[in-house]
């Protein structure tokens, strides 16, 4: 008889801890009596169970229980940092704009851009304005030339297009007139042919009528008519 290891797997812990039901307990005891493997498993389980109770709980070394949970305190030195930053910025701006504070007879004078008199500044402004004017003139001339060139090219192109278009239109008109004239001529020809044919037919009929007239008249004057009758009618 094969041993049901699954029974041991499922309930060996309950058996060792004395929590198994009487029925399971009886089945397990039968299995343990017959199967050496299950006996060894039981012994090992029992040994582990006993060992777990032999474990002596170790004290926890001292540690900071809230170091990860507590935010570091914010030092209230914000004003100091802001003050230092403002002072530094002011000093940098004073250097950049060349701030000068002088005390003369007319009083305290604050100036930017270094030690320059008004005449120097005016001269410098004038020279800069002249330079600016020259630059602007050059730019204006350049732009004007460019615009003129563009306009000239545009006009030439438009004229060439117009000539080309005009020539084509005239050719088309002549063709149209010629075609009309030819068709009209053809129609006139047709009409003349018809008239000629009509006249010829009338002439034949007239000749026949004359001949008949002659014949009717000639019954009395047959000898005279024969001598006077026209040929080939």
Partner 1 sequence: MFQLNNDEKLIAKALGGSQRSWVSLVKRYERLVFNYCLRMTFNSSDAMDLMQEVFLATYRNLPSYRGQNQFKGWMMRIAANKTTDFLRARGRNPLHHAGEVSEESYQSPEIHHPASQHNDPAEQYKTEKNNQKIKQLLDKLPDDQKLVVELKFFQHFTFDEIGHQTGTSINTVKTRLYAALNKLKGYSEIQNVM
Selected binder of partner 1 within 18, 63, 104, 219 (CB under 8 A):
63
Torsion angle defined by CA atoms of residues 51, 56, 57 and 62, in that order, rounded to the nearest 10 degrees? -140
Strand partners, 109: 102
Q: Is 18 in the site for partner 1 (CB under 8 A)?
A: no
Q: Is 49 in the site for partner 1 (CB under 8 A)?
A: yes
- φ and ψ of 19, to 5 deg: -115, 0
- The residue range among 8-16, 143-151, 154-162, 179-187 that interacts with partner 1, by the rule CB under 8 A, is 8-16
What are the tokens at 211?
Answer: 């001949």
Q: Is 69 in the site for partner 1 (CB under 8 A)?
A: yes
Burial pattern 95-128, b for ≥16 Cβ within 10 A else e, equals eeeeeeeeeeeeeeeeeeeeeeeeeeeeeeeeee
Binders of partner 1 among 75-134, rule CB under 8 A?
none
What are the tokens at 88?
Answer: 């530094």
- The residue range among 65-73, 88-96, 176-184, 198-206 that interacts with partner 1, by the rule CB under 8 A, is 65-73
Q: Is 61 in the site for partner 1 (CB under 8 A)?
A: yes
Q: Least distance in Å: CB of 6 to partner 1?
A: 9
- The residue range among 39-47, 97-105, 147-155, 191-199 that interacts with partner 1, by the rule CB under 8 A, is 39-47
The alpha carbon dihedral of 59, 62, 68, 73 has a sign of positive
Q: Is 2 in the site for partner 1 (CB under 8 A)?
A: no
What are the tokens at 218?
Answer: 């000639």
| CA dist., res. 21 & res. 14, Å (int) | 9
Selected binder of partner 1 within 18, 58, 81, 223 (CB under 8 A):
58
| CA dist., res. 124 & res. 130, Å (int) | 10
Q: Between 7 and 99, whose beta carbon lies closer to partner 1?
A: 7
Total residues interacting with partner 1, rule: CB under 8 A: 31
| CA dist., res. 14 & res. 32, Å (int) | 14
- The residue range among 2-10, 98-106, 111-119, 214-222 that interacts with partner 1, by the rule CB under 8 A, is 2-10
Q: Between 58 and 77, whose beta carbon lies closer to partner 1?
A: 58
Q: Which residues bind partner 1 (CB under 8 A)?
A: 5, 8-10, 12-13, 40-41, 43-45, 47-49, 51-52, 54-63, 65-66, 68-70
């Amino acid at each position: 008889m094969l041993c049901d290891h699954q029974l041991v797997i499922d309930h060996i812990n309950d058996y060792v801890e004395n929590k198994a039901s009487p029925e399971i307990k009886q089945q397990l005891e039968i299995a343990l009596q017959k199967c050496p493997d299950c006996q060894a498993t039981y012994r090992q389980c029992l040994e582990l169970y006993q060992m777990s109770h032999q474990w002596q709980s170790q004290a926890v070394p001292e540690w900071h229980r809230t170091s990860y949970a507590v935010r570091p305190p914010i030092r209230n030195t914000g004003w100091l940092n802001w003050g230092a930053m403002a002072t530094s910025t002011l000093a940098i701006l004073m250097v950049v704009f060349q701030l000068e504070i002088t005390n003369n007879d007319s009083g305290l004078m604050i100036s930017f851009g270094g030690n320059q008199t008004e005449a120097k500044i005016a001269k410098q402004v004038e020279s800069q304005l002249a330079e600016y004017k020259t630059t602007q003139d050059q730019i204006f001339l350049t732009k004007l030339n460019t615009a003129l060139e563009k306009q000239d090219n545009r006009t030439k192109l438009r004229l060439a297009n117009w000539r080309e278009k005009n020539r084509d239109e005239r050719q088309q008109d002549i063709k149209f007139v010629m075609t009309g004239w030819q068709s009209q001529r053809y129609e006139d020809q047709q009409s003349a042919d018809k008239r000629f044919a009509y006249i010829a037919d009338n002439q034949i009929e007239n000749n026949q009528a004359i001949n008949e007239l002659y014949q009717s008249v000639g019954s009395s004057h047959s000898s005279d008519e024969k001598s006077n009758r026209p040929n080939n009618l």
